[in-house]
Amino acid sequence: MLDPIAIYSTVFSNAWPIFLLIIVILFFKSPFMKGKIGEGIVNFTNLATLDENIYTPVKNVTLTLKDGSTTQIDHILVSKHGIFVIETKNMKGWIFGGEHQKEWTQQNFKQKHKFQNPLHQNYRHTKALEEVLGLPSSAFISVIAFVGDCKFKTEMPSNVFRGISYTSYIRSFTQEKLDPLQIRQALNKLQNKRLEQSFQTDRSHISNLKERFDKPVDSDNCPKCGGSMVLRQNRNNGNSFYGCSNYPKCRHTVPIA
């Protein structure tokens, strides 16, 4: 009679490399790893194509704001031409979106996926940096960089790019906005006020995001950009709703139950 334990042992010993390969593939296809790979591509591109004597990169910055919330910024380039705030998206398939839409759409074959408008997402990042660094809004330039095998199917705003073309946009800014002292102060503040880069920081930020988006807003800050939510009235039907005070830059609204 065959020994079942010996059979299972033989099957497992032959199959474990396949199981390991499947686990590795699933890990690299996870949203977390896709994000990290995208950030790595942009980080390498910044180092390889932008003059290090002009642009100083600061990556993966998590900041705590006055209201206790956190924000996590993929890439910051500090330069005399301004502070470039880069939001990275590693996606494939077709991308549909507009400047003022709350959500954009990714279509990969027949599958569709909604994701937050990255312009709104990066707007919150730039406002957070204004608060932390004490610089005017004119010092910040928002850049959205899509990497991966994707294609835009709608006309995109001038600061949204696919591949490494965003670097030409960054180099197009030639006016000096910051002097050497302001640059040093900005870099020092970023290093002193950023949270430690760790798994715990990432987990706490995700928990903070979940709490911020899940709670009722009423008169709370806008979850998209951090602005105040104010009571407004629909001109067409007279219904009341809460809208962001930063309208029209931010069009986030919440209906009143």
pLDDT at 219 over 50: no
**pLDDT by residue (tens digit) across 137-157?**
999 999 999 998 999 999 999
Residues 70 and 177 in one domain: yes
Residues 153 and 224 in one domain: no
Residues 194 and 224 in one domain: no
Mean pLDDT of the 165-192 span:
97
Residue 10 lies in a domain: no
Residues 57 and 89 in one domain: yes
Closest to 257 (Cα-Cα) out of 238, 241, 245: 241
Residues 43 and 115 in one domain: yes
Residue 209 lies in a domain: no
pLDDT at 20 over 70: no
Residue 16 lies in a domain: no
Residue 54 lies in a domain: yes
Residue 113 lies in a domain: yes
DSSP 139: G
pLDDT at 94 over 50: yes
Helices (H), the chain: 4-28, 31-49, 118-133, 166-171, 180-193, 199-214
Residue 107 lies in a domain: yes
pLDDT at 63 over 80: yes
Mean pLDDT of the 88-96 span:
95
Band (218; pLDDT cuts 50, 70, 90)? very low
Residues 137 and 178 in one domain: yes
**pLDDT by residue (tens digit) across 230-243?**
777 776 666 667 78
CA–CA gap between residue 86 and residue 146 (Å, rounded)? 10
Residues 167 and 70 in one domain: yes
Residues 174 and 123 in one domain: yes
Band (17; pLDDT cuts 50, 70, 90)? low
pLDDT at 181 over 90: yes
**Two tokens at 128?**
């957070």
Residues 141 and 247 in one domain: no
Residues 32 and 135 in one domain: yes
* Least confident residue range of 56-65, 162-171, 191-200: 191-200
Choose one of 203, 225, 244: the last residue of a domain: 203
Q: Which amino acid is at 143?
A: V
**pLDDT by residue (tens digit) across 73-87?**
989 999 999 999 999
Residue 243 lies in a domain: yes
Higher-pLDDT residue of 128, 215: 128
The neighbour count for residue 143, using CB atoms within 10 Å, is: 20
Enclosing domain of residue 223: 216-255
**pLDDT by residue (tens digit) across 105-129?**
999 988 999 998 999 999 989 999 9
Is the separation of the CB atoms in 141 and 173 below 8 Å? yes
**pLDDT by residue (tens digit) across 3-16?**
666 655 665 566 65
CA–CA gap between residue 139 and residue 62 (Å, rounded)? 20
Choose one of 203, 224, 245: the last residue of a domain: 203
CA–CA gap between residue 242 and residue 256 (Å, rounded)? 7
Residues 223 and 111 in one domain: no
Residue 184 lies in a domain: yes
Residues 60 and 153 in one domain: yes
Is the separation of the CB atoms in 71 and 128 below 8 Å? yes
**What's the total number of domains in the chain?**
2
Tell me what pLDDT residue 110 has.
86
Mean pLDDT of the 42-60 span:
95
CA–CA gap between residue 66 and residue 92 (Å, rounded)? 36
Tell me what pLDDT residue 27 has.
46
